[in-house]
Structure 1
Amino acid sequence: MRTYRYFLLLFWVGQPYPTFSTPLSKRTSGFPAKKRTLELSGNSKNELSRSKRSWMWNQFFLLEEYTGSDYQYVGKLHSDQDRGDGSLKYILSGDGAGDLFIINENTGDIQATKRLDREEKPVYILRAQAINRKTGRPVEPESEFIIKIHDINDNEPIFTKEIYTATVPEMSDVGNAKVVYSILQGQPYFSVESETGIIKTALLNMDRENREQYQVVIQAKDMGGQMGGLSGTTTVNITLTDVNDNPPRFPQSTYQFKTPESSPPGTPIGRIKASDADMGENAEIEYSITEGEGLDMFDVITDQETQEGIITVKKLLDFEKKKVYTLKVEASNPHVEPRFLYLGPFKDSATVRIMVEDVDEPPVFSKLAYILQIREDAQINTTIGSVTAQDPDAARNPVKYSVDRHTDMDRIFNIDSGNGSIFTSKLLDRETLLWHNITVIATEINNPKQSSRVPLYIKVLDVNDNPPEFAEFYETFVCEKAKADQLIQTLRAIDKDDPYSGHQFSFSLAPEAASGSNFTIQDNKDNTAGIFTRKNGYNRHEMSTYLLTYLLPVVISDNDYPVQSSTGTVTVRVCACDHQGNMQSCHAEALVHPTGLSTGALIAILLCIVTLLVTVVLFAALRRQRKKEPLIISKEDIRDNIVSYNDEGGGEEDTQAFDIGTLRNPEAIEDSKSRRDIVPEALFLPRRTPAARDNTDVRDFINQRLKENDTDPTAPPYDSLATYAYEGAGSVADSLSSLESVTTDGDQDYDYLSDWGPRFKKLADMYGGVDSDKDS
């Protein structure tokens, strides 16, 4: 290698220097440049004048990787203005100037100071200029030139990657599978074309399932593989990609599953799986049921993640009808390569046996829903129809029926629990509710948990049980100057019933109003009628007895069976109108037409009046017979209770009212002249006072009350003890005296009674007068 480099170096050194007879242009290239002249003109304004200037040069070439001890000579620059007297100075600038490349400013010789590598930088662009050494002014315009680095074989071939990875389909033919790198070895599985570097398979039927990875060492050598050429190596990892050359296979030929008969559609029963030696989409498997007894009862789907076949229920099963099903399930590849069909069919099949298990099922109704009809005039306990349900199991357990009361809150219907007959328990009305939607429940008697429901729709058929009536309240008017046979109102009617042939109403005046009426009714035969005037003119001012308001009773009848009719009243007022018939004013008084009320209505009004009068008389009589209040009871009649509040063990005795007379001697009550129902606020010590001679009425009253108390079984005894709390001083009488004080002979002073106010004035006069009489 070194010998080759030295040879090239000697060859370069032995070459003559390039001549510089060609002028140097401003842009370097491989072709001679044109001669250019720049004249510098001098005048009073110091402007530059043009003068003839030119470079002589050749393009410079330089070998890379120079190993000499001296600077490597590049070339020489020369200007035709250089006379060799040292008046010119050469300046170099650009890529590497002053560092990689230096120039002799006197001679223009250029040298390289360092080793250059073409692989790092193949071209250097520099600029040269000649200036006057004394003035520093350029004598030549600045111009560019190029130094190209010449390549030598100093680098061995290098692969961009240390290890390469390539793929080739398995079972590939010989000579196929092109690789974009130079390859040296890899036999006996692969071969290499030495000129193109294409890798080819060398063996037939390379199977990925047997071996997937191959490693091949590649060598690249330059100089056409001759001696002295450099070489490099790399490793190529080759992977065989998969092709669909293996069919799916079931690991067993028969599968067996169980499922209860109550499984709803879509319920998975079991899983089956076929294996495939391929990978990726070549290992995808599709499952299908090809034949068997349950083609329409079961289905199979593919789990895309696990590639398993899931067998599911397609329709409801019935243990009583069929207990075992046998299916044939097939597994196949959806992606098949035709060139491998010679290996055999890419599918496999297995037998699946499904056994249905018996479960206790609820009763089953004979219909999914029942629709019944009944007339609205049906009597209670009328049978409407029946429902039927039975146990589908082999045991045939008995069934009882009931109505879901959440759907029949009013309990209008009942059902016979034994035979399922539906009958009414209340009267029906089609106008209130046309359809009744209820639910019937069938329950096994032996197992109440097993029950089923069925909807029952009952339609109520119409019966003509509603009379027609006016569609609205009619109140119209007639002008005073109306002509005979003039239409004043159109009547319409409605009916709650709905006859099959449609409504057809007839209108007429009531019989009691037909004769002598001032108006007529004309039936239009289209469920409407018109009111027409019978005479000319209705004068409101002729006589006071003339009626200003007419009440016309109109009879409305239908044509259904039985015929229903009703009477409606139309109010017609007599009004003043203009010449166009528009109402201007109507009298406020409204009188009743003589034929407006029937005799029965008048009798009913009179009976109501008589009944009201009798009630008033009886009430007045009872008021008079009520017991009069006693004369002594007045607003001054006050009875006070002295209640002990500090006794926590007291009962009714604590709050029982005692009059002050019980604290006195019963024998002296007549003489004391005190009222039993009045308790004085304060008492002095009692003294004996004779009775007044002129108070016989009071004495009689007291004696009468005394007898009443003596005969009263609820009155307390004389010797009963009543406890009174002492509430302190401040009272005129201090505190109550003992019971024995009433037996003393001392006289009592009742003058203080006059200080008690007007409420005790009468008592003060009674006892005060006694004292005065006695003193006199």
Structure 2
Amino acid sequence: MNSQEAAKMSNYVILWICFVVQIHLYPCVQSCFPPSFQAMAPEDVAAGYVISKVNVAICDSKVERFGSSDPDFAVRADGSIVALHSTRIPAAGRAFSVWAEDSNGRQSKMDIHILQTLSQKVKTGILRRSKRRWSPPPLSIVENDSLGLPKNVEQIGSDSSSQYKVYYGISGPGVDEEPVGVFTVEPSSGMLRVHKAVDREQYPQFEILARVYDRYTNQETDKPLPIKVNVIDQNDNAPTFAGSLKFSVLEQKADAVVGQINATDRDEAGTDHTKIRYKLLDGNDLFSIDSQTGVIKTKTASLDREVKDNHLITVEIRDMNGAPNGLFNTATATILLKDINDNPPLFSKSSHSVNVKENMEGETLIVRIPVEDKDLKKTPNWNSVFDITKGNEQGHFRIERDPDTNEGLLYLTKPLDYEMGKTLKLEVQAQNEEPLTGTQATWASIPINVNVEDVDEGPEFMPKNLKLRIKEGLPNGTIISHYTARDPETNSSAGITYYELSDPASWIDVGKTNGELKIANTMDRESDFVKNSMYNITVKAVDPSAKTSTGTVFITLDDVNDNMPMLPTHDLVLCEKTGQLGSVVLVAEDKDENPFSSPFLFKLIEPEEGKWTLNKLNDTAVTLQQASELPTGVYNVPVLVTDLQGFGDTQMARVRICRCQYNQCVASQSSVALGVGGILTMLLGLALLLLLCLLAACACAAKREKLELKDDLWSGGMLLKSNTEGPGEEGSTLVIVPTSGVEQSVKGSAVDNGTFGTMNTMNANSLAGAWQATPQPGLQQSSAAGVMTKDMIDMNTSSQYDFGGKGMDEVFLLNQRDAITLHTWRTNGIFLDMKLNYLATGEEARYADDILHTYNFEGEGSVAGSVGCCSDQSQYGNLDFLNTLGPKFKPLADVWNKK
């Protein structure tokens, strides 16, 4: 060591002494900074760039201000050195000082030397070297070594020092990066020093970068050298427990694995510092632990959960492979014993006895059966399962478990009968949901005595339901059986009376004193009261004490051949098709069962055999087909139908041959369907109309004046021409009505003024002898529809009236004896004339069918038929024919309905 280095060393010692003295005697800010600090920065530094960070954690809290001698840089309270402005770092570096000042004005100063980060190669023209020579990597320090700090670690040097005047600088973790201030280097000598104790578990290695510079040019004289400083481990960390210390194991299990203790050590792996050994400090009589793996096992099968359900043991973990000088920790582990079903449920009592009244309704709780089980509650090992092992052959009882108390609940499900047994002995066994294990015990059972108490009962039918089988059609008064009841107390039927509760068809009489069942009305299997050949009645029995009971009689009716196969009674429609022979299907129905039913035999009866043929379709149906084309109309075809036993009769198959539309007769679609009520209403209306006309005629005859008719003009009668059927004119008057001014006699061929009232010109061509009145010029129409007055006709113009070449004396011959007839004629003429006028003013569609029409001839067998068919006596009062009267009947019905 030269004199210069010795002087520097003495200065450091003096500074260190002063620093220690100030720390202990005069605490101030002088302890904040190391005396010098080096940092690296790029050539161009932007504003806000953090150059490095100095550890100021030891600064006194009384520091009020930090300062810098360089206006471009400042130091913050956290020790960060930052650029205040954009600036440039020269190649030679930049040096300045920072300080911290307290309230008393005392300062702590630190020199900072910022070196430029080398960003380009050193020019070969300036520096020439043949090889790089650094020494001596690697380096190491001992963790937690705080004695004699700072300490020299190693001197670093470069061979370039032989050619240049150099100085050294370092950077990286432990220098200007966290943890800051651990290492420094003496710039001139390259001595690397450590200033702080280091925890290996936090910083196991430091990798710092060493540089060497020319003192005059500040140019690097050698490439940067990475230096690794390893921190040597010390056994400063005791092992710690990891994971849970709660374990469980089944009771009564030897050498069963309980669990494993896990431990960790922060010291260096692979050394004795982390080799852990495990040890039980207590509980060694029941458990063991593997010293290397920490696995805990049971040592005995005597662990009983019902005695003690958990155990606490103390475990020690020690490093240094268990050596006495090793660091250690202890903890308490909890071991829970899991339950096994080693205890069967035991009954609290040795037996049970219970009294039950006979005939008590079912689903009644009669006794609770408590049990005790030492196993863990609310688990399958504790839950009881009860079973009635004896005495319940008739199913009167059931047993279940109370989920809250674990008791057995014995229920009565069916009423008991004292007469059948006074005492029932049951045996109930209790088990668990899980089978027994780890024990020699077995399932326990207990006897239960059920005492039946006698109750005065009503009579009982024997049997409760009586089944009988008889033939249908038995004669009235036939005894089919006896149905009696008895008193269970006395086993006697004395004094018991019987009544019918239900007999829907009233077919059975029940003997009041002896329960005799007798046919009251003939039983018919085909009746609606019979379902599936079964008929039921209910009988009630009443004893002297008014107690009752009921019984049911099920009567099965055997079939007899009392029904012949029947053809349908409705019309079978056969649609007429030109050139084709149509057919219909005849389906017969027999209410009897086999062998009194199908297959049926069908046979045509004369004289229909030549018109029709039969073809079998199946056992119950045949096809009835035309043998030749037949005209439209209704045909009654006699067919003999018999069942399998030959029982049957000839029946009429009613077939309607017609023209069809949509498979229906056209006549049936266009005809008016009138019921019996409609026909009767129409006939009643017609009768009332006729009566009204007669009353009107009588009234007019009572008030008329005497008619004076000349005998030489009239013959005393009324002659109407009726030998022409030419069509009349629409809207004309059909009747010539004499007025009340007609005299009682008419003589000669001249017509006296006042003899006749208004008359229109008589048309000899009027239909059915009616006179059609045609208005003539010079005639004035009367205010009464269709009637003209005497003043409106000039009898001298006789040429205006056409009488068919005959004189009026030949046309009208009225005498005094025909006055009433004449008056009736006038009255009817007025009514008809008003009616025709009304029809002429009505809607065309409404009254179009009320006038005469000309119809084409439709030939024989026309579907229209005739209105005269209403008088057909072959139907014997059957009004169904009104539905098929045809088109001619519809206008008459429409007119009547509109009235």
Q: TM-score when scaled to structure 2?
A: 0.47
8 Å Cα contact 2:637-2:654 kept in structure 1:
yes
2:422 maps to a residue whose letter is: K
Q: Which residue of 2 aligns with 1:394?
A: 489
2:441 maps to a residue whose letter is: P
8 Å Cα contact 1:299-1:312 kept in structure 2:
yes
2:351 maps to a residue whose letter is: T
From 555, 569, 579, give the equivalent of 2:638.
555
2:170 maps to a residue whose letter is: I
Q: Secondary structure at the match of 1:497?
A: coil
- CA, structure 1 residues 278+466, in 2 after alignment: closer, same or farther (shift >3 Å)? closer
- CA, structure 1 residues 247+428, in 2 after alignment: closer, same or farther (shift >3 Å)? closer
8 Å Cα contact 1:372-1:384 kept in structure 2:
no
From 117, 139, 143, give the equivalent of 1:64.
143
Q: Which residue of 2 aligns with 1:118?
A: 200
Q: TM-score when scaled to structure 1?
A: 0.53
Structure 1 segment 429-444 matched on structure 2, within 5 A? 430=526, 435=531, 440-443=537-540
- CA, structure 1 residues 467+246, in 2 after alignment: closer, same or farther (shift >3 Å)? closer
Structure 1 segment 149-160 matched on structure 2, within 5 A? 149-159=231-241
- 1:227 Cα deviation (Å)? 5.9
Q: Which residue of 2 aligns with 1:233?
A: 330
From 399, 411, 422, give the equivalent of 1:323.
422
- 1:254 Cα deviation (Å)? 0.6
- 1:402 Cα deviation (Å)? 3.7
- 1:188 Cα deviation (Å)? 6.1
8 Å Cα contact 1:468-1:493 kept in structure 2:
yes
Q: Secondary structure at the match of 1:278?
A: coil
From 153, 157, 169, give the equivalent of 1:90.
169
- 1:154 Cα deviation (Å)? 3.3
Tell which deviates more after alignment, 139-148 or 246-255. Answer: 139-148
1:477-517, CA deviations, whole angstroms, 9 ceiling, x for partnerless residues?
697xx9xxxx945454333434524222221245xx89xxx
2:428 maps to a residue whose letter is: V
1:13-37, CA deviations, whole angstroms, 9 ceiling, x for partnerless residues?
xxxxxxxxxxxxxxxxxxxxxxxxx
- 1:63 Cα deviation (Å)? 1.3
1:64 maps to a residue whose letter is: E
Q: Which runs of 5+ in 1 are unaligned?
A: 1-37, 539-547, 575-587, 589-607, 632-776
Give the Cα separation in 1 of the matches to 2:658 and 2:417.
81
1:108 aligns with 2:190: yes
Identity of aligned pairs, percent?
A: 22
1:464 maps to a residue whose letter is: N
Give the Cα separation in 1 of the matches to 2:635 and 2:294.
123
- 1:158 Cα deviation (Å)? 4.6
- CA, structure 1 residues 224+384, in 2 after alignment: closer, same or farther (shift >3 Å)? same
Once superposed, what is the RMSD of the aligned Cα atoms?
5.5
Give the Cα separation in 2 of the matches to 1:531 and 1:227.
129
1:564 aligns with 2:649: yes
2:423 maps to a residue whose letter is: V
1:308 aligns with 2:394: no
Give the Cα separation in 1 of the matches to 2:257 and 2:656.
113
- CA, structure 1 residues 619+189, in 2 after alignment: closer, same or farther (shift >3 Å)? closer
1:156-180, CA deviations, whole angstroms, 9 ceiling, x for partnerless residues?
455458x944556555659996764
1:250 aligns with 2:323: no
- 1:556 Cα deviation (Å)? 1.8
8 Å Cα contact 2:538-2:553 kept in structure 1:
no
- CA, structure 1 residues 507+123, in 2 after alignment: closer, same or farther (shift >3 Å)? same
8 Å Cα contact 1:91-1:105 kept in structure 2:
no
1:250-302, CA deviations, whole angstroms, 9 ceiling, x for partnerless residues?
22211123445556777654332432323355445444344457586545445
- 1:440 Cα deviation (Å)? 4.0
Give the Cα separation in 2 of the matches to 1:478 and 1:85.
139
Q: Secondary structure at the match of 1:81?
A: helix
Structure 1 segment 144-293 matched on structure 2, within 5 A? 144-159=226-241, 164-167=245-248, 170-171=251-252, 180=261, 181-186=278-283, 205-223=302-320, 228-262=325-359, 268-279=365-376, 280-292=379-391
1:351 aligns with 2:447: yes
- CA, structure 1 residues 390+241, in 2 after alignment: closer, same or farther (shift >3 Å)? same
Q: Which runs of 5+ in 2 are unaligned?
A: 1-118, 262-277, 660-666, 668-679, 704-899
Q: Secondary structure at the match of 1:564?
A: strand
8 Å Cα contact 1:385-1:423 kept in structure 2:
yes
Give the Cα separation in 2 of the matches to 1:362 and 1:62.
114
Q: Secondary structure at the match of 2:652?
A: strand
- CA, structure 1 residues 620+630, in 2 after alignment: closer, same or farther (shift >3 Å)? closer
- 1:550 Cα deviation (Å)? 7.0
Give the Cα separation in 1 of the matches to 2:604 and 2:218.
138
Structure 1 segment 221-620 matched on structure 2, within 5 A? 221-223=318-320, 228-262=325-359, 268-279=365-376, 280-292=379-391, 294=393, 298-302=397-401, 306-312=405-411, 317-332=416-431, 340-341=438-439, 344-357=440-453, 360=457, 366=463, 375=472, 388=483, 390=485, 393-394=488-489, 398=496, 400-404=498-502, 408=504, 416=510, 418=512, 419=515, 421=517, 430=526, 435=531, 440-443=537-540, 445=542, 454=552, 463-464=562-563, 467-469=566-568, 473-475=572-574, 488-490=581-583, 492-498=585-591, 500-502=596-598, 503-510=600-607, 519-522=610-613, 527-533=622-628, 552-559=635-642, 563-568=648-653, 570=655
From 59, 77, 81, give the equivalent of 2:156.
77
Give the Cα separation in 2 of the matches to 1:176 and 1:554.
103
- CA, structure 1 residues 442+520, in 2 after alignment: closer, same or farther (shift >3 Å)? closer
1:112 maps to a residue whose letter is: V
2:182 maps to a residue whose letter is: F
- CA, structure 1 residues 294+126, in 2 after alignment: closer, same or farther (shift >3 Å)? farther
Tell which deviates more after alignment, 189-198 or 244-253. Answer: 189-198
1:678-704, CA deviations, whole angstroms, 9 ceiling, x for partnerless residues?
xxxxxxxxxxxxxxxxxxxxxxxxxxx
8 Å Cα contact 2:465-2:551 kept in structure 1:
no
Give the Cα separation in 2 of the matches to 1:216 and 1:130.
63
- CA, structure 1 residues 270+88, in 2 after alignment: closer, same or farther (shift >3 Å)? same
Give the Cα separation in 2 of the matches to 1:628 and 1:429.
71
- 1:93 Cα deviation (Å)? 1.1
2:145 maps to a residue whose letter is: Y
Give the Cα separation in 2 of the matches to 1:432 and 1:349.
59
8 Å Cα contact 1:508-1:522 kept in structure 2:
no
1:408-431, CA deviations, whole angstroms, 9 ceiling, x for partnerless residues?
5xx665654833747567996948
Aligned residues: 523
Give the Cα separation in 1 of the matches to 2:151 and 2:486.
115
8 Å Cα contact 2:174-2:183 kept in structure 1:
no
- CA, structure 1 residues 505+243, in 2 after alignment: closer, same or farther (shift >3 Å)? closer
8 Å Cα contact 1:248-1:276 kept in structure 2:
yes
1:468 maps to a residue whose letter is: L
- CA, structure 1 residues 373+186, in 2 after alignment: closer, same or farther (shift >3 Å)? closer
2:140 maps to a residue whose letter is: F
Give the Cα separation in 2 of the matches to 1:54 and 1:457.
129
- 1:325 Cα deviation (Å)? 1.6
